[in-house]
Structure 1
Amino acid sequence: MRLEPADAEDLAQRLLAESIPRRWAHVIAVAQKARCIARELGQDGDLLEATAWAHDVGYAPDLAITGFHPLDGARFLRELGAPPRIVALVAFHSSAWAEAQKFGVSEQLAEFDDERTLTRDLLWYCDMTTGPDGADLEFEDRMAEVRKRYGPDHYVTRALDAGMDERRAAVRRSREWLASVGLADQV
């Protein structure tokens, strides 16, 4: 099954718009950034946009099997027959490996591969520069927002430090690429 951006948008809307409207607002803004970037990304452009639409479907109440949204979303997409790259990008988005360790599902997350490509970095960039209700945020402000929203004892907050160097590096590489293609001021 191909998962085109429009199909991924419809899927995410069905799963998130009514049940988690704030999360849906975040997804819309992440996907809008990805759509802008996709024009310059070449053959991975549609893949990036489709993955941006699908990256948080694991938050949908009907899909929350383990309670770890990257894993639940990736497994759901795999069952649907989504392309393996989209599935893996969802599984590992925004340093999910660090959170998986703190949440206790790192062995399960190992079902998928982290491709460590520019496309992966750009997905992380779109996600980690977008607030929970769709506002544009600088990376450091987004990380501070996450800490405040979850509080000091939550596994997400505890995992931030473990994955912070990798997150910063992905954002830096993304910004460098965005500047090189003239998109630095657009996303």
Structure 2
Amino acid sequence: MGGSMVDWAIHVAESELSAMLPRRWAHSLGVARRADDVGRILGEESSLLVAAATLHDVGYAPRLATTGFHPLDGAQFLRDEHGADERLVRLVANHSFALLEAEERGLREVLEAEFPLLEEPLLVDALVYCDMTTSPFGEPTTAQERVAEIVGRYGADSVVGRFIRRASPEIFAAVERVDAALAVQPR
């Protein structure tokens, strides 16, 4: 991991998450490590992926939780307090099929209007891959185990449980696409 955007992302995420939400911080670091490895399929976009991976859950920080929907809260924080790169903010806002959860929460129109999904499928898939193949403790896992863990933690009938079950086919497909890209990209 390197580059000024990545260094800045680590600093921001650590200051918002490490003390208040150490497990969320461990997950974010694990997702960033995964992104550092996966970034080879993106070439020059690898630092953007690592920065987004590092910051994807910053919206969980208690002081940032204005809507209670962490992708939206994190993206608004990055845009409004830091003037962050627009593509980075849009990746954070839309990570791991957030539009589907936004719909469950009645926030889809707000999310789409403020932070349109990037039209960069491999980059978007790579962030899904990194998030959904990293455990809450920052360790590698499978997407199937991660989805099951999320359903178990939140409950199948919760907003998050409904969303993740609905999104799981898309999550698994994104992971498969990234696995395929990794298989043809030399280390």
**TM-score bracket for the superposition, by shorter chain length:** over 0.9
CA distance in 2, matches of 1:74, 1:137: 26
Q: CA shift at 1:164, angstroms?
A: 2.2
Aligned letter for 1:29? G
Q: CA shift at 1:88, angstroms?
A: 0.5
For normalisation by structure 1, the TM-score amounts to 0.93
CA distance in 2, matches of 1:3, 1:83: 12
What's the counterpart of residue 68 of structure 2?
Answer: 67
For normalisation by structure 2, the TM-score amounts to 0.93
Q: Is structure 2 residue 136 aligned with structure 1 residue 135?
A: no
Q: CA shift at 1:131, angstroms?
A: 0.9
Q: CA shift at 1:38, angstroms?
A: 2.4
**Which whole-Å deviations, capped at 9, do the CAs of 1:28-50 have from their partners, x for residues lacking one?**
00001111222442110110011
Q: Is structure 2 residue 86 aligned with structure 1 residue 84?
A: yes
For structure 2, the residue ranges without an aligned partner over 5 or more in a row are none
CA distance in 2, matches of 1:12, 1:42: 24
Question: Would you identify which runs of 4 or more consecutive aligned residues in structure 1 move more than 2 Å?
Answer: 37-41
What's the counterpart of residue 33 of structure 1?
Answer: 34
Query: Are 1:3 and 1:83, in contact at CA under 8 Å, matched by a contact in 2?
Result: no
Q: In percent, how many aligned pairs have the same letter? A: 46
SS at match of 2:63: coil
Query: Are 1:70 and 1:93, in contact at CA under 8 Å, matched by a contact in 2?
Result: yes
Aligned letter for 1:73? G
What's the counterpart of residue 100 of structure 2?
Answer: 98
For structure 1, the residue ranges without an aligned partner over 5 or more in a row are none
Aligned residues: 182
Higher helix proportion, which one?
2
CA distance in 2, matches of 1:17, 1:166: 30
Query: Are 1:89 and 1:114, in contact at CA under 8 Å, matched by a contact in 2?
Result: yes
